[in-house]
Structure 1
Amino acid sequence: MFSRRTGDTRRPRCRTPPRGGAGAVTYRAGMQASPSDLTGRARLREAALRLFAERGFAATSARAVAAEAGLSPALVMHHFGSKEGLRAAVDEEVLARLGTALRELDPSGTDLMMSLGEVSARMFGADPVLRGYLRRVLQEDSPASAALFGRLLEGARAELERLIATESGHTDADLEWAPFQMLCLIVGPLLLEPVMQPNLDRPMFDVQVLARRSVANQRLLRLGLFGADPATAGDATDDLRAGAPDSATATRRAQPTVITDNEIPH
């Protein structure tokens, strides 16, 4: 899955304030750290996740992150070395959460789309902060954005290879494009949420909405956009398995149909 990059492995020196006492931290939506992870480093990372999602990386200062976490700005440098190091730690945490969810995909071909819907629900349904972070980062035109997408692509490809090894019926999968398609199905609605949601009567990451979308996606992949006749749907699959047409065939198919005067009804 998503391999963890080598990073700062120093143990944090700051102590976590006791729960309920002075300086105790209230964890809001999007903060999924376990109790054992409530260190100063984790608090800074989760504060950065929230602020980067809300304001963007460029508009968020290390001082603002420290204030959000209730810690000294010096601890940002102590734990992460720089604001860029903090961003890298946030990305690692996001990838770890996504990797955990993707590993729960059902390898059954007939249920794969439903499984993707369930994964989307677990990853994004109750975590608007994670949705906001990924949406903002993936829409950036930056090396960090491209690097994060590349890591997502690596994880999707590894997961598809696992599914292929588990389910022999997937041996003809296109491992160049299938990972892109998987990410489009999972992340695409997340990116379009601001414009899709006003056109829906329920939250688009509601469990029932995701289930219905998963059924529609499954039908689309199996039968095509207009619901091809199941009796002939295999023809398209056979054509795909046969590979792309040769250049002569492709050229012939691309030629416009010429109708002579004799063929025009008068």
Structure 2
Amino acid sequence: MREAASELFAEHGFAATSTRSMAAAAGLSPALVTRHFGSTQGQRAAVDEYVLDRIGEQLRDLGSVEPGRGPMVSLGEVSDRVLGADPVLRGYLRHALLEDSAASAELFGRLLPGARAGTERLSEVHGEQAPDEEGAPFQMRCLILGPLLLERVMQPNLDEPMFGPEAPARRSEANQ
């Protein structure tokens, strides 16, 4: 059910996704979806938790980045692992963060602790302290989410996929 909802939210957004369409995509009855999640908002909350867990896993794995390559390159590598291989996750985050709602502001707010932990971990790995410890997590999110949010308008102007194997690292190297 969560995967079906993720795909529909990613493709159509929340306002255009009904409990009935989620049920049909999952091959279930609408009553079962409603019983399990309560509403479309309940399903969205379940998808948000899954997304936050996936992103948190990758940020916890920052210890596997190579020291000496610079924090921005490491950030590009993590961005590629989180977003590069998952167009549904990218589409979901795009819709969730652009809809201008309390739920989207809450999701962004819940992404910040992971970004704080990520910037701290990158500082440890690379021996470089962020000049602005309060602003660094916001900047980290901007660098990761900017390409995601602008993917649809940027891609036609690029020669290779926006989230292809080398693109996130190349964008990160450009920030150094």
* Same-fold call, TM cutoff 0.5: yes
> Given the two structures, how large is their TM-score scaled by the length of structure 1?
0.61
User: Which residue pairs with 2:108 in the alignment?
Assistant: 149
The one-letter code matched in structure 2 to 1:123 is: V
| Paired residues for 1:43-58 under 5 Å | 44-58=1-15
User: Which residue pairs with 1:112 in the alignment?
Assistant: 71
Of all paired residues, the percent bearing the same amino acid is 67
The higher radius of gyration belongs to: 1
User: Which residue pairs with 2:140 in the alignment?
Assistant: 182
Residue 67 in 1 paired to residue 21 in 2?
no
Residue 196 in 1 paired to residue 149 in 2?
no
User: Which residue pairs with 1:217 in the alignment?
Assistant: 175
| Paired residues for 1:87-126 under 5 Å | 87-105=44-62, 106=65, 108=67, 110-126=69-85
**1:121 offset after TM fit, Å?**
1.4
The one-letter code matched in structure 2 to 1:205 is: F
- Matched residue count: 174
**1:51–1:84 Cα change, 3 Å:** same
Which of 1 and 2 has higher RCO (CA within 8 Å, sep 6+)? Answer: 2
**1:207 offset after TM fit, Å?**
1.1
**1:165 offset after TM fit, Å?**
5.3
Richer in helix (by share) = 2
The one-letter code matched in structure 2 to 1:216 is: A
Conservation of the 8 A alpha-carbon contact between 2:71 and 2:122: no
Conservation of the 8 A alpha-carbon contact between 2:71 and 2:126: no
C-alpha RMSD over aligned residues: 1.8
Please say which of residues 73-82 and 159-168 is displaced more in the overlay: 159-168
Q: Which runs of 5+ in 2 are unaligned?
A: none
Please say which of residues 112-121 and 92-101 is displaced more in the overlay: 112-121
Question: Runs in 1 of length 4+ with deviation above 6 angstroms?
Answer: none
Conservation of the 8 A alpha-carbon contact between 1:135 and 1:191: yes
> Given the two structures, how large is their TM-score scaled by the length of structure 2?
0.90
Q: Which runs of 5+ in 1 are unaligned?
A: 1-43, 219-266
Conservation of the 8 A alpha-carbon contact between 1:107 and 1:163: no
